[in-house]
Structure 1
Amino acid sequence: MRPEPPDPPTHSSGPTVHSPTHSSGPAVHSPTHSSGPTVHSRGLRSHLHLTRGSLDLDVEISAEPGEVVGVLGPNGGGKTTSVLALAGVLAAGAEGRIAVDGEVWDDGRHVLPPEQRHVGLMLADPLLFPNLRAVDNVAYGPRSRGVRRREALERAAVELERVGLGEQATARPRELSSGQAARVALARALAGDPALLLLDEPLSALDPDTRARTRSDLARRLAAYEGVTVLVTHDPLDALTLADRLVFIESGRVTQTGSPAEVLREPRSPYVATVVGLNLYASEGDSHGHARTGTGAVVVTTDPTEGPVWTAFSPSAVSLHRREPEGSPRNTWPLRIRDVTLHGQSARVGLTGTIDLTAEVTLESIATLGLHVGQHVWAAVKATEVRTYPR
């Protein structure tokens, strides 16, 4: 057994970031006093403007108290860099600025170090001390800020109750399931009453069943949290069910922001369309309901929009045929199957040709049509299933 880490200091004159000996540290803790200048604004106000390697990041992330902001984007787009800047591991840049609950953490000249920011952090790996009980893991945050042991343990017990783990307070990490360990990590991040909670892929290491249960537990706990939560995730379901507002970062820039309903209704980049599960094309529309894509394909809609438009339709609106279909569909294209991916009792079929698109069909259709990669088929979409809206 590894020796327990030394007790955190019991004084509050100089807070320190403490971490287990086997990791870089599970959380960022902060003092209870304010160290920076104040501004008259609650919640989070940030402009991150920095260069990290080949990435040029220039994004704004703001949120009101109690709001959960979901940050999504492709790998290398700037999500993790944004979290590191908010936590204080990276500076926001000469033109950057971060203020939380009226306190300026970074104004481009003066940067508050991580240990002086009122931040809670939860990662995919819970990073629990293996030789400490769950309650001691949670209490370690308050203890590192100078809270007395008894008070810290009482606070930890409250947080464990809030995430449904009151009966597991004395369990060691090896005695916990992966979902329970994740909830202990969440309790630890919140035990210090942070003004800003950073969740970086918090559920990505869990299996699907555990992930669904833990997502539900996380949603209930975040609903009662009064600070700002920034949730970084690749999982659309995590973002759509947990976040009040979504921010998409691609190549260091914000490409879209809005409520989940707004993003689902009108995605504004191919990546966003992929996340919400739509076929999307930058097009030029006319008054007759024709939208011409960049590849020259024409998509017909009964809801025309003139000028530069986004053209969108659901994969479930696409039907596949071995021969050119007859009848009502006004959009038909001969295409080749690029890939087939199973999703439960349905399959997603990627097609390429004059227009690239994704169709969602039943497994019965796959078997009946004998669909396979490389096969040439016809794809059809009714004009009533196509939406256009201004770019």
Structure 2
Amino acid sequence: MATGRDPMTGRTLRAQITVDRPSFVLSAQFDVPAGDCLAILGPNGAGKSTILGALAGLVTMTGEIRIDDRIVDDGATHVPPEHRRIALLEQKPRLFPHLSVRENLAFGPRSQGRSRREARAIADAWLERIELPDVGGWRPTRLSGGQQQRVAIARALAAEPDVLLLDEPFAALDAESAPTIRRMLADELARTETTSVLVTHELSDAWQAASRCLVLDAGTVVEQTTPAALTASPRHPFTAALAGYSVVHGTWDGGALVVGDDVLLGIVDGDIAPGDAAFGIVVPQDVTLSATSGAIRSRVRALSVHSGRVRVESEAGLVAELPEGTAPPAAGERAWFTPVGMRVRAARAASTRSPVLVAADPPE
């Protein structure tokens, strides 16, 4: 089933981007090999969408952006967004409401000079690919939110971009449709060999689509590694929380993590000196909960259920996972939390880090 894209057409993206923002200077340097996906993660306001805007030509920057040997932005060249062959897909599908679904899918091929017949064939092939073969004549408003996002992804890929930028494309989806569309996107990126950059708040998105991750904090790259390494050994509190760890902040006193008036025992992981700001991480299964005694007494901030087990989140950052059948304390109550085998790492400020190159191969 043809979609208009020839095989082996992935492009290599190389970017060195600096953007002056009101609160910090964003600085990032990375390579994305042809047909690969780079996931960008970080707290709100860290600069993730700013990178996508710079790549798309929508944000003023200094540095260089290159696709294979073609420069699209540097001190002397600024290719307009519409001529970069870089597509941007956001949280909202932003389909053309006055066009049918088929016409939306045919828009990119038609803009590139394909005949009406060719563009229609490409659109119909994509409708088959996304399992919506019977909605081509519908207006987008007749589709559900999940169906609209499937069409938006297909429309972006039907235009055969050299690079596809994805700005949290699953954030507005419900829990039922999001996994299906995640799988669809990962499959289509691999099949079409489209180079992509994915901004997300979900580590599961990186696992599904990306081979490398770049983590931003206040405009600075603080981690760069594979999704597996990021999950097993996160080096930043944000990624530790994304990976499902309990995260607690304090000061290292040379033998324990001091959190307010409490002292938590931990195992040093990396270089850390007495008096350094530090954070501890521990899996929720290794945090015990008691009503009478423990390492730190904290108010219960929230309760959640995962696979039938109750997780109790404290205001101190520790999360305890209770055995099945155990009655949890209510939100707002105080309880004693005790981490076992907590790893402690230095919490170095992002502003002290240098830009990090994200290459095709893991660092030594």
TM-score between both structures, scaled by the size of structure 2 = 0.81
1:221 counterpart residue number: 188
1:1-391 paired onto structure 2 within 5 Å: 43-93=12-62, 96-280=63-247, 290-292=255-257, 297-301=263-267, 307-308=271-272, 311-324=280-293, 332-344=294-306, 345-352=308-315, 356-361=317-322, 364-367=325-328, 371-383=329-341, 386-387=342-343
State the SS of the aligned residue for 2:71: strand
**Is this contact kept in 2: 1:133–1:172, CA < 8 A?**
yes
Change (3 A) 1:351 1:98: same
Q: How many corresponding residue pairs?
A: 330
2:362 counterpart residue number: none
Report deviation, 1:92.
2.5
**Is this contact kept in 2: 1:101–1:195, CA < 8 A?**
no
**Is this contact kept in 2: 1:87–1:114, CA < 8 A?**
yes
Judge which range, 217-226 or 182-191, deviates more: 217-226
**Partner Cα separation in structure 2 for residue 195 and residue 54 of structure 1:** 32
1:33 counterpart residue number: none
State the SS of the aligned residue for 2:176: helix
Change (3 A) 1:87 1:270: same
1:31 counterpart residue number: none
What letter matches 1:357 in structure 2?
L
What letter matches 1:299 in structure 2?
L
Report deviation, 1:147.
2.2
Deviation sequence 1:304-349 (CA, Å, 0-9, x none): 657428743112211101223xxxxxxx403122402323534432
**Partner Cα separation in structure 1 for residue 90 and residue 195 of structure 2:** 17
**Is this contact kept in 2: 1:266–1:389, CA < 8 A?**
no
Report deviation, 1:141.
1.2
**Partner Cα separation in structure 1 for residue 54 and residue 256 of structure 2:** 42
State the SS of the aligned residue for 2:326: helix
**Partner Cα separation in structure 2 for residue 363 and residue 131 of structure 1:** 53
Report deviation, 1:97.
0.9
What are structure 2's unaligned runs of at least 5 residues?
1-9, 273-277, 348-364
**Is this contact kept in 1: 2:302–2:314, CA < 8 A?**
no
Deviation sequence 1:120-168 (CA, Å, 0-9, x none): 2212111112232222101111212332211222222223333333343
Report deviation, 1:104.
0.8
Deviation sequence 1:48-82 (CA, Å, 0-9, x none): 10113334211123211111111111221101111
Bigger radius of gyration, 1 or 2?
1
**Is this contact kept in 2: 1:92–1:108, CA < 8 A?**
no
Judge which range, 310-319 or 106-115, deviates more: 310-319
Judge which range, 66-75 or 157-166, deviates more: 157-166
**Is this contact kept in 1: 2:105–2:155, CA < 8 A?**
yes
**Partner Cα separation in structure 1 for residue 284 and residue 126 of structure 2:** 43
What are structure 1's unaligned runs of at least 5 residues?
1-40, 325-331
Report deviation, 1:205.
1.3
What letter matches 1:217 in structure 2?
M
Report deviation, 1:215.
1.5
What letter matches 1:227 in structure 2?
T
**Partner Cα separation in structure 1 for residue 317 and residue 133 of structure 2:** 52
What letter matches 1:350 in structure 2?
E
State the SS of the aligned residue for 2:97: coil
What letter matches 1:82 in structure 2?
I
State the SS of the aligned residue for 2:230: helix
**Partner Cα separation in structure 2 for residue 305 and residue 75 of structure 1:** 27
**Partner Cα separation in structure 1 for residue 263 and residue 99 of structure 2:** 62
